[in-house]
Structure 1
Amino acid sequence: MKKPGSIWLLLLCLFLLDSARGQVIILKGKVERKDLHTYIERSFSLPDSVKRISVVFSYNGKDQRTTIDIGLMDPVRFRGWSGGARNSFTISAEDATPGYLPGALPAGKWTLLLGVPNIREGVVSEYEARITIETRPVITEFSSMPIRAAEGWYRGDLHMHTGNSDGKCASQLGNQVGCPVFRIVETATAGGLDFISVTDHNTVVQAEALRELQPAFDKILLVPGREITTFYGHANVFGPADFIDFRMDAPTHAAAKGWMNAVNNSGGLLSINHPGLPSGEECMGCGWQIENIPDGVVAAVEVVNGSTMKYSIEGPVQGWVFWHKMLNSGQHVTAIGGSDDHRSEAIGKPTTVVYMKELSVQGLIDGIRSGRVFIDLEGNRDRFLDLSVTGKEVYMGGTVKIGRTDTVGLTPYVKGLSGGRIEFIIDGRPDAALTRELRSDDEKIPVKWVPGGGRHSVYVKARDKDGKLVLVGNPVYLE
């Protein structure tokens, strides 16, 4: 039953704060022995159009065995109970902490439920509930802390599908069934990946499963994603987990800017998928047809798509032509890869390798935007590629100013490809004069080049001893 408010000794502080993610409501109070085996209802109000609420609950007196359980009700129904098992939870329309129901967040009176299963005589325990209210889409982290706080190179796959769209895998009897999310995560973990994004078509139902799985798979970052699938092109979205209206009726930026702006306004990242594929009955809208997109809207391009590598790695079905066109127009767009796995069989082929400040969703987005990224087509952890401007702290994705007569020093760093070679791709074309042989498995090869002024993009491809393309870097930009 509810404890009458008149017999409570509350230290009440209820106020709204501006924060980076929205508003914060703080509820404070205290419990003592007479509150034992009672339930306390603490109410707060939600405005219209709330996207997510997150609660962090803390209290003192645990060393004296005080226990306070927590749960939540919305204006209509019970939304969940975690008892004393958790000190925080989150709820949105698409996902929720285990023990809580996702779904619409109606405006009105919500109630934080507090149960007091134990408190000793003479003990007074103070509690605080910090409730964050998000009223606009933001990127979603399924872990409250980075999976790894260390700066460095992290390997992952940015394109795959589960049974929430058209991903299949074998059942116990060998039948092809919709593949559950946990099977995908297990496969990626067994492959030694550091991160994956599950990108089912237009839906974000997979976010609920990923939130549940992330605590158990605490060595791999699970990234909210989806493949925006339209009649005129496909694009991956990384970061936000809430619904984005993908509907459009013409192959124009005017028709697409609603969903494109929603991604960027949330802090998420937009990447064009397999732009070189044809569109038609075999693959609805697979090739990219949307033109005249302003600079800065698209952050990345899937230059290598794993599902089409069996046909060609460097041919027109991949994204090379489209990416080079964007680079030559002056845009700084990061090349990435994705397996586009639909069978839980080829995850990590290709692998996208990103230099991040930390292994988190924000770290991944920032890392891709920075451009210090390379694609490992075969997913070989012994291979590595980087490119720097000699004598400067400028790496892939960075920009260096040049004079018309300046000589630029470029230093590729390659591992695991003794007997292979590197090629420099300048403004989308290979420069044969800069090709270099690789004589060891750990090699830095400085070269000098005179650009002759103007604006240029320079990146490196690395081939094995048989001439097969195995690593692709991102550009250094010269202006």
Structure 2
Amino acid sequence: MKKIRSVSALLFCLLAASIACAQSPPRPDIVLRGTITGKQNHTYEMVPFDVPSGIVALTVTFHYTGHEQRTTIDLGLFDPQRFRGWSGGNKSTFTVSESNATPSYLPGPILPGTWKLILGVPNIRPGATSQYEADIYFARQDGEESFTDQPLRNGPAWYRGDLHMHTAHSDGSCLSQSGRKVPCPVFLTAQAASERGLDFIAVTDHNTDSHEDALRELQPYFDQLLFVPGREITTFWGHANLFGPTQFFDFRVGDTTTTRTLFERAEKLHAILSINHPNAPTGEECMGCGWTPQQQFDPRLVHVMEAVNGGDEDGPHASISFWEKYLDQGLRVTAIGGSDNHNAQIPAGKTNAIGRPETVVYADNLSVPSLLDAIRKGHVFVDLSASRDRILDVSVTDNQQMAKMGDALAAPANSTIAISAHLVACQGLLLRFLLDGQPVHALQTNIQQTEQVLALTLKADGKKHWLRPDVVTPEGRLVLLGNPIYLNYTESRE
């Protein structure tokens, strides 16, 4: 897949259950060191450590010396109440959390108290010694987790993905080998996404987190496809995708818990809660699908919204108009898309097929923290055509200030806003801009080349506006949906 990259790369530290950072690695919460001698051959050593309350996941990295002498030390784990797993000598790093764990280990509550590493010694020669070190990292409830401890790809780029799909862990189904309709396994979703050239996906089964364990097992195999932790919070008054946490998130909206409560909880977790298909009809065919909260809540809590759903696209139930109502209130809300796939076997490009539409994110690297950070910032466009290479990269400058999609720009009255639009694989289509939802005819232009940079200008009036790009067919059908650049906004996105 073609990527448009800049020359610099930013490194990051994964905050939850993470251990890798090239320049400034996080410090372990506990370091356990010891010595194994030849006298301990064919024995098991228990190495205790204390886990405080409030921990949602822990990661262990284990290293030892003596490999050149064929020393082998196996590894396992007990919590204060039970056995949590055994990886022998096949892993030097593992993570356990309440909802998922590295294969070989069991998910479950991270109980406070004394845990124990099991060190099995199948071989150490007489007279030999081995020094071991176990570094233990605690993750508290910060909401941002991952199934890999390092980026799958380094360097800034436009990364393509699908942020809304379902599997056997909720109502996803497909045909079995003998042609029967059965719950569709997570593997088929990952395989289809990989074959279609996606860089990331979020499996968002309804209200559950059981699929997270399957994704943790699959992530090492799909080392070019990043799995973003997600689920669809499904209430009687609307659906919303939660991105980031893997621990339980209470979805029960009723008399005492409100829609506002959901967004406040997501804020505390530093998670993204994105309203799904808000213009969809609600009824017995799709219970709670439309967005009709049981009581009003502060719209400033909404930072991300699914403006394009695979079942609607730009049809009668498309949610772009709902999203733009939030923009018209002066709010900065990122538009994303998702296929809402319920059958991994739907052929590529068909309605609700995996990757139609794609959310395309300009992120510092291919990692969960970088992707979620870029989505919060609005560095996103939505590709309704399920292409593998279309790019809509827009920036504006005024008085030597520069802003990308999702950013704010100060544009004084009578100044000239210079617009640069870098387009890839859009020949034969039209680039247009909407100012506060209305097309600006002077900013509509034909795209004639496979890769083209178009330069346009707009006279600023010094007032507050949102300016967003999109790409359409000559007949006006939407192909690429861009996020706004916010002119003269003083409010922070946070």
Structure 1 338/435 Cα, relative in aligned 2: closer, same or farther at 3 Å? same
Aligned match for 2:305, one of 289, 301, 305: 301
* 2:287 alignment partner, one of 271, 281, 284: 284
1:335-374 aligned within 5 A: 335-344=335-344, 345=346, 346-374=353-381
Distance 1:409 1:230 in 2: 44
1:332 match:
332
Residue in structure 2 matched with residue 476 of structure 1 by the alignment: 485
Distance 2:265 2:66 in 1: 45
Look up the SS of the partner of 2:414 in the other structure: coil
Deviation at 1:279, TM superposition (A): 1.6
Distance in 1, Cα, partners of 2:60 & 2:427:
54
Structure (1 or 2) with the larger CA radius of gyration: 1
Which of 65, 73, 95 is equivalent to 2:70? 65
Determine if contact 1:21/1:138 at 8 Å carries over to the other structure. no
Q: How far has the Cα of 1:207 moved from its partner? A: 0.3
Deviation at 1:296, TM superposition (A): 5.3
**Alpha-carbon distance in 1 for matches of 2:315, 2:441:** 17
Corresponding residue pairs, total: 455
Does the CA-based 8 Å contact 1:417-1:465 persist in structure 2? no
Render the CA deviation track for 1:330-389: whole Å, top value 9, x for unaligned.
222111110000111200000111111010111110111121211110111232111111
Equivalence map 1:205-244=2 (5 Å): 205-244=210-249
Which of 67, 70, 82 is the equivalent residue of 1:77?
Answer: 82
CA distance in 2, matches of 1:417, 1:95: 42
What is the CA deviation profile of residues 395-427 of structure 1, one whole-angstrom value per residue up to 9, with x for unaligned ones? 111111011222212222222222221221111
The aligned counterpart of 2:97 is 92
Note closer, same or farther for the CA distance 1:22–1:176 as it changes in structure 2 (3 Å cut).
farther
- Following the alignment from structure 1 to structure 2, what is the Cα–Cα distance between the partners of residues 235 and 193? 22
Aligned partner of residue 35 in structure 2, secondary structure:
strand
Q: 2:125 matched to 1:125?
A: no
1:147 aligns with 2:141: no
CA displacement 1:112-158 (0-9 Å, x = unmatched): 10011122233221111122233424311101111111221111100
Question: Paired residue for 2:29, among 20, 24, 29?
Answer: 24
CA distance, structure 2, for counterparts of residue 43 and residue 97 of structure 1: 21
Distance 1:90 1:262 in 2: 24
Q: Are 1:339 and 1:348, in contact at CA under 8 Å, matched by a contact in 2?
A: yes
Structure-2 separation of matches of 1:314 and 1:180: 30
CA distance in 1, matches of 2:319, 2:276: 8
> 1:12 maps to what in 2?
none
TM-score by length of 2: 0.88
Q: 1:217: how far off? A: 0.7
CA contact (8 A) 1:45 1:108 kept: yes
**Cα pair distance change 1:462/1:135, threshold 3 Å:** closer
- Please say if 1:447 is aligned against 2:456: yes
User: Which aligned pairs between 1:166-181 and structure 2 lie closer than 5 A?
Assistant: 166-181=171-186
1:10 alignment partner in structure 2: none
Listed as ranges, the gaps of 5+ residues in structure 1 are 1-18
Between stretches 431-440 and 86-95, larger displacement belongs to 431-440
Counterpart amino acid of 1:414? Answer: L
Q: CA deviation at 1:193?
A: 0.6
Q: Is 2:432 the counterpart of 1:423?
A: yes
- When residues 257 and 376 of structure 1 are mapped into structure 2, their CA distance, relative to the original with a 3 A threshold, is same
SS at match of 2:468: strand
User: Which amino acid is 2:436 matched to?
Assistant: D
Change over 3 Å in CA distance of 1:181–1:71 after alignment to 2: same
Query: Where do 4+ consecutive residues of structure 1 move more than 4 Å?
Result: 19-23
Is residue 260–residue 298 contact of structure 2 (8 Å, CA) maintained in 1? Answer: no
Alignment partner of 1:394: what SS? strand
Q: Which secondary structure does the structure 2 equivalent of 1:327 belong to?
A: helix
| CA offset digits 1:275-312 (Å, max 9, x no partner) | 11122222111111236544653221111100123xxx
- The one-letter amino acid of 2:334's match is T
1:21: how far off? Answer: 9.0
- The letter for the 2-side match of 1:146 is P
